Amino acid sequence: MSSIEQSSMRQAGAKEDREVFWLAVDGRPIPALLAAQGVTAPSSIDIPERPIAYFVPVAVERLGSAVRELRRTLGEHAYLVIAAEGLSGGWTERAIALGADDVVDPTSGEDIVVCLARTRRSLERVRATFEECGHLAIERDYLQACIDNLPAPIFFKNADGIYVGCNVAFATFIGRAPDGVVGRSVFEVAPKALASRYQTADDELLRRGGTQVYESEVCHSDGASRHVVFHKAAMQGGDGRVRGIAGAILDITERKRLEARLIEAAERDPLTNAYNRRKFFELAEQIVQAAAGNGQRLAVAVIDVDQFKLINDRLGHAEGDNALRLIAGVLEETIGEGNVIARAGGEEFYALFPDASIDDAARIADRMRFEVERGCRHSALSSVAGTVSIGLAGFDPLAEALDEALKRADDALYLAKNNGRNRISIAA
């Protein structure tokens, strides 16, 4: 070897060569040209966790089996250089095709210089890639830790509908470990009926892009049904194509329960828990419109507690409240399904009987009157009163308004009062 080649090899050396080793699998010593470069034998042979290059002497006749065995031993991250004398171009191509990264003639100083330069450059690139992957892994772990500490269930799917990520809250919500979610479809992690609904929504979002917000009933891992809001967004790549979906789940079960209680409070009389006057007219409007469209007749009733002032005066207002609660409960129990009863105010109630003849409504109203009398007979009210009077009116929604029918029923109520109370009077 010329002095120029030797000088070139010495100048190239050192730091990088600490990651370049001679692996004498057959006991062959390090060639002088490589030793002069500072290449040494490794202290141990393990699958490397960092980029390392190995120069390995291999006989041509064992090329295929040797390369495969070296790959199994050293792993895919090792930079494998086959050291063999006099290999033709065809053998070099074969060695690389079998899994080697490069081939060098250990007796050629020029070949070694060039090969070491390629090796060092490759190691630099691989090290840079490893570092980048390490940074990405740190960032990925950081982002995972961030979403794992969020209480809302979060998930990610690719364009094929396969989960590619989620947080602990999502895995807990559906009753699976995180590694039992990633790599699976919604049909593998949710009940079939719900999964079909979710997939339909996902398909629509993937088709049109943008965002998607909708409410749904879901089955929690504890078996309870929860009301949730799904917030989803289509994820786009740099080319503008939709690559998948990011989603979050907001559990609004308690909010829905509160809303239901507020709605019920707005619809119900706080003392008797019967429908209030506003709710009566809201329901009546719907029923009247339907009856008018179908040509059906209705009946309305005004019900008043007899001698209610006497109850308050003799037994006290607390007992008067108890009387209203008792009577309202009896009226609701006996009016029958599909009919409407509501507290109109004070001791007065309204009733509406959809698709009922006046005779049918009279029979129901008389049963209500009788049950109130019987129920109050066994209470403190029996010493005072504890009965109701009822005014009833037939109602053709095509011929008159509801207010007019209620006015006729109210007139009939006064007739019932004047004729002795605890009775029904039907308007003409």
**pLDDT given for residue 289 in this prediction:** 93
Is the overall model pTM greater than 0.75, yes or no? no
Buried b / exposed e over 237-268, threshold 16 CB at 10 Å, is eeeeebebbebbbebeeeeeeeeeeeeeeebb
**pLDDT given for residue 179 in this prediction:** 86
**pLDDT given for residue 46 in this prediction:** 64
Torsion over CA: 130, 136, 140, 141 (sign): positive
CB under 8 A, 24+ apart: contacts of 282-289: 283/340, 283/352, 284/340, 284/352, 284/402, 285/402, 287/340, 287/352, 287/354, 288/397, 288/402, 289/397
Helix, strand, or coil here: 30? coil
**pLDDT given for residue 329 in this prediction:** 94
**pLDDT given for residue 48 in this prediction:** 62
Q: Which residues of the chain have pLDDT under 70?
A: 1-17, 44-49, 380-385
Tell me the Cα Rg of the chain: 44
Query: What is the tens place of the pLDDT at every residue in 233-261?
Result: 999 887 878 899 999 999 999 998 898 88
**212 forms bridges with which residues in the sheet?**
232
Residues with Cβ within 8 Å of residue 254, at least 6 apart in sequence = none
**pLDDT given for residue 3 in this prediction:** 35
